[in-house]
A = this chain, B = another copy of it.
Amino acid sequence: MPKIKEPTLLLNTDICKRNIRSMNNRVKQWGGYFRPHFKTHQSAQIGEWYKSEGVESITVSSFKMARYFALNGWNDITVALTATILNVDIINDLASKINLNILVEDNATIYALEAALDHPVGVFIKADTGYHRTGIDVSDLSVVKFVLNELKDKKKLIFIGFLTHAGNTYKCKKESEIIEITQNSLNKFLSLKAFLKDDFPLMQLSWGDTPSCSVFDNFYGVDEFRPGNFVFYDYMQSLIGSCMLTDIAVCLAAPVLAVHPVRNEMVMHAGAVHLSKDFVVLEDGTKSYGKAIRISNGKWDVDTVIGEVTSLSQEHGVISLKQNYYSDLNPGDVIGILPVHSCLTANLMKEFLTEDGNLISMME
């Protein structure tokens, strides 16, 4: 293990591989197809661990990411970001090489893409089942039909089905809330199949989000599952109820810069450019940008809590030490931070250091 001198994102490969195996098994038990989202790790090497579990198809959040994974041997990719006519060149390029699926949600784009594409691509209609970020509201069946009518006879855009992301589960605070939101969204989503089964008997339903896939078990009727964050989980997911702290596979190692016993604080070298400014609000009202714990020789222990990261500037973070905490930690020591949102932290750090001292790289 190399000596850590600057903010470094540690990856516990055992936990990570266990998370992959566990989610793969869950999806198998439901009889579903696993198309994990790769936006969290963005790493060809971590992608190989999915291949070892038999995974052949993936989801990404941008065309740039699709290109990266296509270059790294993945030939069945869904880009889960609504496509527009601006993406024609890269769609044509990717669709000539791999099985590419895209997302649409408006008739003008469908019309324009059909005219501009050289190669056929699979198409999902983005469905809004309650998150209200993007997609067609599935309760409005007249709009669903209006878009399907535009799409159904196209030669380049091959209708596959509907795709939803019940991202409102991210606002949950416990398992029972996740289950309630999931059931509501799912009911809306499944009604699409009932409504359209005569005209589109092969239509697929694709489902996303880590919280629901981690705790819900009754997905009968859904064909495909696209969770992503579960590969690392994070502090936020542990508070939502998706995982335990011991399921978190990444931890930011950060040097201590100063200790301020008078105000019960510690300052570390790790800020918004390492962790991101995403935060959670704890039960007692504390706004936390990460949970500070001890690490030793690149290994962390979630039971050795130091405190919460209560403020972040560009390169600095302030840790409010837990009550009556006595510290033997000094400037130059290295502590660990369980990140609030592992997707954003990984995206900033761009590489992982494993317990064996190996560096795992991500997409540039």
Contact = CB atoms under 8 A, between A and B. Distances in A.
Contact of A255 (B3, B84, B259, B316): B84
Nearest to A131: B313
A258 interface: yes
A291 B130 CA distance: 26
Nearest to A3: B86
Interface in A8-62: 39, 61-62
Contacts of A332: 84-86, 109, 112
Instruction: State the number of copies, please.
Output: 2
Interface residues of A, number: 54
Contacts of A39: 314-315
Contacts of A354: none
A108 B329 CA distance: 12
Contacts of A108: 330-331
Contact of A315 (B61, B85, B277, B316): B61
A181 B234 CA distance: 38
Contacts of A269: 62, 81-82
A315 B344 CA distance: 10
Interface of A: 3-6, 39, 61-64, 81-82, 84-87, 89-90, 105-106, 108-109, 112, 132-135, 167, 255-259, 263, 267, 269, 272-273, 276-278, 311, 313-316, 318, 330-332, 334, 343-344, 347-348
